[in-house]
Chain A
């Protein structure tokens, strides 16, 4: 039987402010354990939270970027549950007056544009980190992460396939990167994602029982876990079983979801208004000002690339997925590179390199002018296309301008006719057999001669020039 999957996503985003949500501790990732804590984020007796103003600003920026309605007044609430990584045993979060509600995000999945609703965006504090591996009897707590600002972005259950979920995440991540408010690094946990999925008969208006899937460590995992879960539920439904509403964990090694051991009974978070924080009235003028200063967002940039540079929809899509790629592309253009080759280099060799090294574009130090120089070196014939590929790798590995590498390494193509002549002569002299074949009309023999010439020049000969020279000389051979 066929079913329609109904998918919703909850994304938790760590905002990369300098300090935590409610105290002046640094929010930096990777510090020595328990070195970025203070009485406030440790929940010591008697301390009080004070909201970081940048968190509110950045939250509003994100909300505006996905067309949410910003609350007139927002407030914080306490979400209460006991857990050793939660020092106060309540999390300061937002319940019924969140920062923003009712937004949307446009994606393209399976070649069709689609609008995905965003239910709400709210601010909350992160919990600490628990380490379980070091001991059989104990767990260890590192409180550095407690109080780091989180933005929770909850989608409507508008997604209908793992691919749509994947595209939603890609697009959301791109937007956040453009806004420069988070590092969006899933490995470091600055972007986390939970998903829920249910199945229903096509056309049904009711939703099926919802299964929440957690422990998703990459966008790929989200896609795989959803595919697995859809399949699992479909099989169960086909067998006449009922789907249990539950939380399951994705096992990335076994490639399957497992039910989570449930915490004693249903959670009762006992939300109530945080008495230690006052309400926040969000000034309409501030919103207007912030709206005016939003950077160009991926959708807008895609349109511009297609219009201004005649890039295909696909190329524009790829180049705008990371803010850093677009910046590289446009930087190279400013340094004189033509759009299409610049786009091709980025989408081809550059992305392949990043994938191979498992690196993010932000962490790579490729300067736009280097890319422009590389394209120019090919265009003016200084190097061949093949040489350019090697040179590009060297540019990335050594972090140097390809122009300098060419000069230093004598990589320059031989375009000087006087330097090519002796090479051509030697090739013709040493390959009498091929010369004869060629003159008898066997054109493939020329390929051999050409290969020999390039080999002799150690690849530096300009191929067009060498080919022309060889042909001219062959014509002059007396038959």
Chain B
């Protein structure tokens, strides 16, 4: 078998091979590590911050017999660097957490282990998930494997998306606070799901904005995403915001025929919307129509306030969540001969990158005395309106469809010095986090330069099955498996 052949497979393909006895977990891991070794160089894709082949091989070799029945037995799963894996560096791509090895597993990690997965930690990201390009990583950028020139993979889960797209991962976990799974999935041509808020435990996910964060899968197809969600979803008593809602079998739901489904098409802010993106999404709508899906117009009147709302709520929560990084208990402490206050100031000033500082400052400002009502309270109220918009929309349709991002992947450094422009690239993804609803980005075409384009499917809370079902039907109708195989060799090698 040529190197990289196993690495290019999906979870369900590998699972069949393992069950048939044609391949073993160590063989899969070896193939994947060989691929990573070739492509992960910081001058190339750099999807992982660090890879420790020995530890990964040992996991594959030491899989307990009891895990054989697990849904992910022997399958390597890549993990974003902000999800705690016991004993593994979990730096959130920040200097301030450099070298931090948590003495505990996140709940999703426990579940992956129980399902027999082999963990590949440390996928690159924007520092603390602050960003839409992975350029805010303190340890070097990740490059988009699908681009001919130097382009961003999107962010903040850019490492996870680039790894899956370049077959340096079978599938991956990311986190999504305002689009951090979906936008890089769209830029890299893979699937990415932000589940319903409360669907997946946040325990062990290093918090960015607690009321918006969710962990979700990035995968090569809908079935893999469904398989991963099957394993990681469900109530967790360690997360007070985790929903005690039963987890359906998402894989079983996948193949249900897509009939009697209505897709809602909202009028969306079109300023800055790339014509190729519009064309690709329109093409996808046509595909759904040929599948017998009815489309109706829906209104989301407050969607143009989503970014403003988001940057108040998310930064407020982030400023508070990041207060704990102070050089006292763990992580980085600046060499500072001075007082306690000097130590705090030096540690945080040297430990955080520019975007983290910007968000901490903005969040601190909107919560400070005299501004709370005008900003934070106002933001929470507009959030209510945005949520209501979706509640209303879902009385008229089952799924809302719109682009994931206004453009395909942009160039490295293109928006780095213009934070507001960077924020505006999250325009279509942010409202799903504010409303707490599930949203899936599905590859639906490419621009003339081959850059992938994603469409976004949104549903009412806990209706992930419906999203998988629609994505799967779309994949089948557009011969996704062979299209995806054609990407394999791509520019990334």
Minimal Cβ-Cβ distance residue in A for B371: A270
Q: Is the CB of A50 within 8 A of B329?
A: no
Asked if A49 is at the interface (CB within 8 A of a chain B CB), the reply is yes
Q: Is the CB of A45 within 8 A of B323?
A: no
Minimal Cβ-Cβ distance residue in B for A87: B329
Q: Is the CB of B104 within 8 A of A39?
A: yes
Q: Is the CB of B102 within 8 A of A275?
A: no
Given contacts A82-B344, A84-B328, A270-B367, contact A46 B102 (CB under 8 A): yes
Q: Is the CB of B320 within 8 A of A90?
A: yes
| Chain B interface residue count, Cβ-Cβ cutoff 8 angstroms | 43
Chain B interface, >50% SS class: loop
Residues of A with C-beta under 8 A to B431: none
Asked if B73 is at the interface (CB within 8 A of a chain A CB), the reply is no
- Give the Cβ gap from B423 to chain A, nearest Cβ, in Å: 21
Asked if A243 is at the interface (CB within 8 A of a chain B CB), the reply is no
CA distance A39 to B341 in the complex (A): 25
Asked if B410 is at the interface (CB within 8 A of a chain A CB), the reply is no
CA distance A45 to B326 in the complex (A): 12
- Give the Cβ gap from A426 to chain B, nearest Cβ, in Å: 81
Asked if A88 is at the interface (CB within 8 A of a chain B CB), the reply is yes
Residues of A with C-beta under 8 A to B106: 46
Given contacts A80-B320, A88-B323, contact A46 B237 (CB under 8 A): no
- Give the Cβ gap from B235 to chain A, nearest Cβ, in Å: 12
Residues of B with C-beta under 8 A to A186: none
Q: How many cross-chain pairs have Cβ atoms below 8 Å apart between A and B?
A: 98
**What 1/0 mask marks residues of chain B from 64 to 99 whose CB sits below 8 Å from any chain A CB?**
000000000000000000111000001010000100
Q: Is the CB of B238 within 8 A of A89?
A: no
Q: Is the CB of A270 within 8 A of B239?
A: no
Asked if B302 is at the interface (CB within 8 A of a chain A CB), the reply is no
Among B211, B326, B329, which residue has its beta carbon within 8 angstroms of that of A82? Answer: B326
**What 1/0 mask marks residues of chain A from 59 to 87 whose CB sits below 8 Å from any chain B CB?**
00000000000000000001010101001
Asked if A47 is at the interface (CB within 8 A of a chain B CB), the reply is yes
Q: Is the CB of B203 within 8 A of A42?
A: no
Q: Is the CB of B330 within 8 A of A44?
A: yes
CA distance A271 to B317 in the complex (A): 11
Chain A interface, >50% SS class: loop
Q: Is the CB of A42 within 8 A of B323?
A: no
Asked if B340 is at the interface (CB within 8 A of a chain A CB), the reply is yes
CA distance A278 to B241 in the complex (A): 7
Given contacts A90-B323, A275-B211, contact A45 B92 (CB under 8 A): yes
**What 1/0 mask marks residues of chain A from 83 to 111 whose CB sits below 8 Å from any chain B CB?**
01001111000000000000000000000
30 contacts between A and B (CB under 8 A): A39-B102, A43-B324, A44-B102, A44-B104, A45-B90, A45-B92, A46-B84, A46-B102, A46-B106, A46-B204, A47-B203, A48-B202, A48-B238, A48-B239, A50-B238, A50-B239, A50-B240, A78-B320, A82-B323, A84-B328, A87-B324, A87-B329, A88-B324, A268-B368, A270-B320, A270-B364, A272-B316, A272-B367, A275-B209, A278-B241
Query: Which 7 residue pairs are nearest across A and B when measured between Cβ atoms?
Result: A89-B323, A275-B210, A270-B367, A275-B211, A45-B206, A46-B204, A46-B206
